């Protein structure tokens, strides 16, 4: 079976950069902050064969393990941060479903490129009271509380809902997350948008869902050593190797998504290169990979 080759939904943000040209997301020098790859999300649905994924990949193709979801459970994307993203937090399903009519957002990041000294803000340096955190928001000194983590290519971070975080400038990464675009901004460096307006903050909501503690890195304890992240919404695997007719088997339980984050080769005879994303329906059977490839795969299991 031939894969569905993805045409992503691209977007710009005031913090975006110009590195995604290398990943085939543009042929010009336009700024691209995010490239939404396997995306069924409102406002950024990707395409395949010239049609929206919501049309060409219906629920019956997701697999039996996904049939309880009203929406496709995953969103994947490239993010190029030329400048710091806002300090933000995402709510859990429990809070989001009750108050926002939305799923929450647990996510994970795989670092692809990092300029010297670049990193992430992940959690707090020490446990902090809500009153103290609120004071730092009002004073514009939230950064003083955050824990900064330097990064290098292929570092992996799993970020449960409720974790305060921000991607630092100079980082390009691949994100796997719940299918949700629900974000509460806590602090945005007093930046203004293209119209000169301060971007809205969501401090009151953020304070209800934020974990005001130290971030502890999560490492999956799985027999499959390719698994780099796992939750009820997705299982993410990482492969960095020379493939020679290596077969993956896609059964009836789950779809299989792939993104090439290094090298080039073929998947079921189709040429693939850096930045390409492709999708197989549940029950697709054997998927054969060849080439010097670095791959990220996402499935339900």
Per-residue pLDDT tens over the stretch 188-219: 988 887 788 888 899 999 999 999 999 999 88
pLDDT tens profile 75-122? 999 999 999 999 999 999 999 999 998 899 999 999 999 999 999 999
Share of the chain above pLDDT 90, in %: 88
Domains of the chain (ranges; CATH) run 4-209 (2.60.120.10), 228-299 (2.60.120.10)
pLDDT tens profile 128-179? 999 999 999 888 899 899 999 999 999 999 999 999 999 999 999 999 999 9
Q: Which of 185, 192, 199, 237 is catalytic?
A: 185
What confidence score (pLDDT) does residue 189 get?
86
Res 43 pLDDT > 90? no
User: Taking the CB of residue 28, how many other CB atoms lie within 10 A of it?
Assistant: 8
What confidence score (pLDDT) does residue 190 get?
83
Q: For residue 180, give every residue at least 6 positions away whose Cβ sits within 8 Å of its Cβ, in sequence order, or none.
A: 41, 75, 90, 96, 102, 103, 104, 105
The mean predicted confidence, pLDDT, of the chain is 95
Q: pTM of this prediction?
A: 0.96
What confidence score (pLDDT) does residue 184 get?
96
199 is annotated as an active-site residue = no
């Amino acid at each position: 079976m031939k894969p569905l080759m993805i045409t992503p939904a691209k977007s710009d943000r005031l913090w975006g950069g110009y590195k995604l040209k290398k990943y085939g997301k543009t042929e010009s020098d336009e700024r691209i902050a995010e490239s939404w790859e396997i995306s069924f999300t409102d406002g950024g649905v990707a395409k395949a064969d010239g049609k929206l994924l919501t049309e060409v990949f219906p629920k019956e193709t997701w697999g039996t393990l996904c049939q309880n979801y009203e929406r496709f459970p995953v969103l994947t994307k490239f993010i190029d941060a030329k400048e710091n993203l806002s300090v933000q937090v995402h709510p859990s399903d429990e809070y989001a479903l009750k108050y926002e009519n939305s799923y929450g957002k647990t996510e994970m990041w795989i670092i692809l490129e990092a300029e010297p000294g670049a990193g992430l803000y992940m959690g707090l340096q020490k446990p902090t009271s809500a009153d103290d955190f609120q004071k730092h928001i009002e004073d514009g000194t939230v950064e003083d509380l955050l824990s900064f983590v330097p990064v290098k290519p292929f570092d992996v971070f799993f970020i449960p809902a409720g974790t305060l975080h921000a991607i630092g400038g100079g980082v390009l990464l691949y994100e796997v997350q719940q299918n949700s675009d629900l974000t509460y901004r806590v602090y945005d460096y007093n930046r203004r948008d293209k119209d000169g307006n301060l971007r809205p903050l969501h401090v009151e909501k953020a304070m209800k869902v934020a974990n005001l503690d130290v971030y502890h890195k999560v490492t999956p304890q799985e027999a499959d050593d390719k698994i780099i992240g796992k939750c009820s919404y997705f299982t993410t695997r990482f492969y960095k190797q020379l493939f020679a007719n290596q077969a993956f088997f896609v059964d009836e339980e789950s779809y299989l998504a792939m993104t090439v984050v290094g090298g080039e080769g073929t998947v079921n005879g189709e040429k693939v290169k850096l930045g390409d994303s492709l999708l197989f329906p549940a029950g697709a059977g054997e998927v054969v990979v060849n080439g010097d490839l670095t791959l990220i795969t996402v499935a339900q299991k």
